[in-house]
């Protein structure tokens, strides 16, 4: 591992990666590839796609380590992996529908919300809501999935996705209100309300 100790923190390894240290990238891979592979496999049954997504994730880490801004490294890695999985699935769906290509929407309000979901008060509030609601919120906002894609990814009905998205908004606002007693409606207008539900 080129001198990297087992007690090196993820953040320290990521800083080393941003300086071009390939041994630090290998250490991060050894530490995180296993659980990332397991989590991706739960969401995709094609082992080749999972392998490519995992590889693309660490290529992105190598190229983008300097863009990391203090979020928990495991969560940051999963955000990258989930986005790569969404991209791979969209490519597959386009290939399967030769007669009709579904346009992929350009980045919209979700991209503006993303920064708030990873950092600051919104990120703290997000950690306080129920795990199953947080998972829907991350899928629809952070990963940019539609309601249908989220349902497929999480293995739950579309109606459940919509219900959990509504509950997630309510819990997130309550958590934000506890963190910031001042009126929270203008903390992040993009959160109210449509981006969190995901388009149908």
Residue 12, both tokens: 């320290």
Residue 100, both tokens: 């009709």
Residue 30 makes CB contacts below 8 A (sequence gap 6+) with 1
Q: What is the pLDDT, as a whole number, of residue 79?
A: 86
Does residue 169 or residue 153 have the better pLDDT? Answer: 169
Q: What is the percent of the chain with per-residue pLDDT over 70, rounded to a whole number?
A: 68
CA-wise closest residue to 65 among 133, 11, 112, 121: 11
Q: What is the DSSP string of 160-184?
A: HHHHHHHHHHHHHHHHHHHH--S--
- Integer Cα distance of 179 and 127 in angstroms: 12
Return the half-sphere exposure (C-beta side, CA atoms, 13 A cut-off) of residue 195: 20
User: Is residue 104 over pLDDT 70?
Assistant: no
Return the half-sphere exposure (C-beta side, CA atoms, 13 A cut-off) of residue 88: 23
Mark residue 48 as left, alpha or beta (left: phi above 0; alpha: psi -120 to 50; beta: remaining).
Answer: alpha
Overall average pLDDT of the 49-65 stretch: 93
The structure tokens 């207008």 sit at 189
Residue 50, both tokens: 């999972």
pLDDT grade, residue 182 (50/70/90)?
Answer: low
pLDDT grade, residue 186 (50/70/90)?
Answer: very low
Residue 152 makes CB contacts below 8 A (sequence gap 6+) with none
Does residue 66 or residue 24 have the better pLDDT? Answer: 24
Q: ∠ at Cα 86 (83, 88), nearest 5°?
A: 110
pLDDT tens profile 15-37: 999 999 999 999 999 999 999 99
């Amino acid at each position: 591992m080129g001198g990297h100790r087992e007690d090196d923190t993820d953040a320290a390894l990521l800083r080393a990666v941003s300086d071009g240290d390939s041994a630090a990238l290998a250490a991060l891979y050894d530490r995180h590839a296993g659980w990332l592979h397991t989590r991706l496999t739960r969401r995709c049954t094609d082992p080749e796609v999972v392998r490519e997504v995992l590889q693309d994730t660490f290529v992105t880490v190598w190229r983008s380590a300097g863009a990391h801004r203090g979020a928990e490294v495991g969560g940051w890695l999963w955000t990258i992996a989930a986005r790569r999985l969404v991209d791979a699935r969209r490519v597959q769906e386009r290939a399967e529908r030769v007669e009709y290509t579904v346009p992929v929407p350009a980045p919209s309000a979700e991209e503006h919300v993303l920064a708030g979901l990873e950092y600051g008060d919104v990120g703290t509030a997000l950690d306080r809501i129920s795990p199953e609601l947080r998972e829907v919120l991350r899928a629809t906002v952070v990963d940019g999935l539609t309601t249908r894609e989220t349902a497929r990814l999480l293995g739950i009905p579309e109606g459940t996705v919509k219900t959990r998205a509504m509950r997630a908004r309510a819990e997130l606002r309550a958590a934000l209100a506890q963190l910031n007693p001042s009126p929270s409606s203008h903390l992040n207008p993009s959160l109210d309300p449509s981006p969190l539900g995901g388009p149908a």
